[in-house]
Amino acid sequence: MARNPRYDVLFEPVRIGPVTAPNRFYQVPHASGMTNALPHVRARFRAVKAEGGWGVVCTGAASIHPSSDDSPLPFASLWDDDDVRAHALMTEAVHAHGALAGIELWHGGACTLNRSSRLPPLSPSGMPWLSTHLGFMGNLKPRRMDAADIRELIDWQRAAARRARAAGFDIVYVYAGMGYLPYEFLLPEYNRRTDAYGGSIENRVRLVRELLEATREAVGERCAVALRISLEELRVRPGRNAESEAHEVVALLSDATDLWDVKMDSSPTDCAPSRFTAEGSHEPVIEFVKKLTTKPVVGVGRFTSPDAMASQVRRGVLDLVGGARPSIADPFLPRKIDEGREHEIRECIGCNVCISSWHDGVPVRCTQNPTAGEEWRRDWHPEHVARTADESAVLIVGGGPAGLECALTLARRGYAVTLAEAQAEFGGRLRFESRLPGLATWRRVIDWRLGRLRELDNVTLLPGNALDPQDVLAAGHAHVVIATGARWTRLGYAANEFPGEEITGARVYTPDDVAAGVVPEGPVLVFDFDNYYLGGAIAEALAATVGEVSYATTAGSASAWTFMTNEQPLVHRALARAGVSIHTLVRVARFDGEAATLADVFTGAERTLPCRSLVVVGVREPRDALYRALEERGAEVAAAGISSLLRAGDVLAPGAIVHAVYGGHRAARELRAGALPDAPYRRDFPA
């Protein structure tokens, strides 16, 4: 199909200093969990985006010196020639598809703990970063930088920029954002210096300018020099000679860089989850930048709509459309727009599981794109899958995330696929969860897969068909995949951090009951030791329908694991707005229908909380009765011509939606006559 003319503006080339981006699609630097220890994994991950049409593809933050050490969190480095060789794999792979390659040179300053290097962190004035999360707390505080330290920092940047040029990068960054060292010089809370680098805004911006000048000196006319800067905090600070200090900084540096890469100051606002923040949310903060510079500007905003992208370009907000999460969810987003296939875009749902990968220290994962991080390890491509010579049919029982993904991938392989779902609507747990506050965007997991399945003529969709073992045996399929999901239990939480006894009695419910339409009698207590999004979302939803709602958790904060996805502060604010009281570090010891007895998880001290209903969000168990019944009838299964009987998704091991989608995809990729092999992935090693 031909490209829609209204998107032509997105495919115009953009000059960036001495280099030219072939279009306006710019994959900004983002963490991938792929350090220099995984050079081939990283190179293929970025190369697939270039293949998919991103005109600029950047790697993540690369440390310029051992005093910027983020371990055990994954980070890249550009300290020596070995690092140059590791990065060169990525630039060569990106260049092979006609894209530019960029690198974000980084010094973390007071925000890094230097656990491995054991060097004192650096700070403009010795001020520490006061993290509220254990993983970012440290006992070694930063030291104040003197004039010699500043000269060394500039030398480190210059040397790293030379290495970046040697590695083949086209765009080399100075990173003055997200609380890192150059950014710390911009804020008076960190920068309390009284020399030429502190005090006035002109002095506080001096270091950033000198880093830019050193970078340009190092790369010459071979590479563009980019500045990535956070503007959220500076934007709310009144300037002396302009509307804000952000305006003053941009004006002071407008001629010092070839590209402005503008962003927010913290992960919860810069990479805001869709649950709380809409597409294009950065515009009110960064829209002024293009008015103050003639250099191209790139920014992000979880852009998935080509109309939203084109609008920001036409209205003069951005020159280049930045993408991190959308480029992970669909590396081929630009090509699909170019080819008039924008309806096929696998849109990011903004769940931020990709960001949790960095916190976990592993290669990036994605709920929408199960091939992310597996491009080299398992040789998985997001758009192509090996066709089968096997003309046999496959029956998939269960139309949730795992079943839908499995069906789509098997159909693309060429199998004749039948997907049977007991309910009248496909979607599994997402049928309910996508109706909870803020989670409507997550329905894209269902809609994108159903849309693609309905385009294929080798797929039969059977909603409203609950199959029993005899139905499966009589269906005449050579392969059967059971994807019947999991159910929530009423198991409690024991003092030893194991599941406790089932909490029984009238008005004790699970999320499945709420999904089925049960309206608990208030006051309601939601007891959450699942610790992801669901407990908080249910509490928020019930507060709007039944009135008084309390939330209790064994963790130290509401929806504790959502720290990993940048949602935690936003969850607390949402519950506060809804009037939900929060009780942390407690378990429900007893519930008698009139009150719950809460016990402190450490001391055991008890107190009562009046409530008429209890919703337990804790432990799930597989809905595997159908699989077990078929497994027990092995001779009949073989006689029916079924050569493989597999499980995929929550029925195998309950997890988040990302795990279900991945499980369904892997089952489809590796389906063989017989059993699903426990295929190892390729192991990568440093270059």
Q: Which amino acid is at 194?
A: T
Tens digit of each residue's pLDDT (9 = 90 or more) over 330-345: 999 999 999 999 999 9
CA–CA separation, 370 and 382 (whole Å): 8
Nearest one of 149, 167, 77, 158 to 114, comparing CA atoms: 77
Q: Which amino acid is at 419?
A: L
* Cα three-residue angle 417-422-424, rounded to 5 degrees: 100
Once rounded to an integer, what is the mean pLDDT over residues 250-272? Answer: 94
pLDDT at 237: 95
Residue ranges per structural domain of the chain: 5-360, 393-485+623-669, 491-620
Q: Residue 452 CB: number of other CB atoms within 10 A?
A: 18
pLDDT at 188: 94
Higher pLDDT, 447 or 139: 447
- 3-state SS class at 314: helix
Once rounded to an integer, what is the mean pLDDT over residues 48-63? Answer: 97
The CA-atom distances, in angstroms, between 224 and each of 86, 221, 259, 430 are: 21, 8, 8, 45
Does position 374 have pLDDT exceeding 60, yes or no?
Answer: yes
Once rounded to an integer, what is the mean pLDDT over residues 1-7? Answer: 94
CA–CA separation, 659 and 657 (whole Å): 5
Structure-token pair, residue 636: 């009949």
Asked if residue 227 lies in contact with residue 208, where contact means CB atoms within 8 angstroms, the answer is yes
The sign one gets for the Cα dihedral 456, 460, 461, 467 is negative
Confidence of residue 154 (pLDDT cuts 50, 70, 90): very high
Domain 491-620 carries which CATH code? 3.50.50.60
The residue assigned the tokens 């090996």 is 386
- Could you report how far apart the first and last alpha carbons of the chain are, in Å? 42
Structure-token pair, residue 310: 């084109």
Structure-token pair, residue 518: 């049960």
Does position 133 have pLDDT exceeding 90, yes or no?
Answer: no
CA–CA separation, 268 and 74 (whole Å): 19
Tens digit of each residue's pLDDT (9 = 90 or more) over 416-452: 999 999 999 999 999 999 999 999 999 999 999 999 9
415: annotated active-site residue: no
Classify residue 348 as exposed, middle or buried by CB count within 10 Å of its CB (0-12, 13-18, 19+). Answer: buried
Does position 495 have pLDDT exceeding 90, yes or no?
Answer: no
pLDDT at 677: 57
Tens digit of each residue's pLDDT (9 = 90 or more) over 223-239: 999 999 999 999 999 99
Average model confidence (pLDDT) across the chain: 96
- For the chain, give percent helix, strand, coil, nearest 5: 35, 20, 45
CATH superfamily placement of domain 393-485+623-669: NAD(P)-binding Rossmann-like Domain (3.40.50.720)
DSSP codes joined into one string, 506-542: TTEE-HHHHHTT--PPSSEEEEE-S-SHHHHHHHHHH
Once rounded to an integer, what is the mean pLDDT over residues 363-370? Answer: 97
CA–CA separation, 85 and 176 (whole Å): 26
Confidence of residue 676 (pLDDT cuts 50, 70, 90): low
Q: Give the torsion through C-alpha atoms of 135, 138, 141, 145, to 10 deg.
A: -40
- Helix (H) / strand (E) element for 479: namely strand 479-482
Structure-token pair, residue 672: 């063989």
Q: Do domains 393-485+623-669 and 491-620 have the same CATH topology?
A: no
pTM above the 0.85 mark?
A: yes
Out of 7, 173, 175, 180, the active site residue is: 180
Tens digit of each residue's pLDDT (9 = 90 or more) over 520-556: 999 999 999 999 999 999 999 999 999 899 999 999 9
Once rounded to an integer, what is the mean pLDDT over residues 301-310? Answer: 96
Does position 135 have pLDDT exceeding 90, yes or no?
Answer: no
> Percentage of the chain surpassing pLDDT 90?
92
- Domain boundaries 5-360, CATH class: alpha beta
Once rounded to an integer, what is the mean pLDDT over residues 30-37? Answer: 92
CA–CA separation, 466 and 253 (whole Å): 65
Confidence of residue 674 (pLDDT cuts 50, 70, 90): very low
CA 126 to chain centre: 32
CA–CA separation, 361 and 358 (whole Å): 5
CA–CA separation, 476 and 643 (whole Å): 11
- 3-state SS class at 572: helix
pLDDT at 136: 83
If you count them, how many residues does the chain have? 687
CA–CA separation, 438 and 258 (whole Å): 38
pLDDT at 673: 44
